[in-house]
Structure 1
Amino acid sequence: MRQELREICAPVLRKVLNHPFRTGLRNGTLPGAALARFVHQDTGYPLPA
């Protein structure tokens, strides 16, 4: 069952792991404006304390 789920999810996982945003974040080539926008959007949804 676990292997079957991995096989089903593999194409989506590859797309997520190879997304340009994630790749740029990992290797340091992400433009500063993109990172700033991400941080700004992310901080708009804080979890309740």
Structure 2
Amino acid sequence: MRADAARNLEAVLTTGARILAADPGASIASIAGEAGVDRRTVYRRFASREELLAA
């Protein structure tokens, strides 16, 4: 995995965990925005909010 891809994944995972803990109905777009990535980046790795939460 490229270094930037690894950083993006880490940002999505940590941001997703924090946001989903506070609001389980949070959108992928809001998680992506907070993580500093495009929502397509999130969907490339996780097909749904549930998959992101499981990760």
Shorter-normalised TM range: 0.3 to 0.5
Could you tell me the TM-score, scaled by structure 2's length? Answer: 0.30
Using CA pairs below 8 Å that are at least 6 residues apart, which structure has the higher relative contact order?
Answer: 2
Could you tell me the TM-score, scaled by structure 1's length? Answer: 0.33
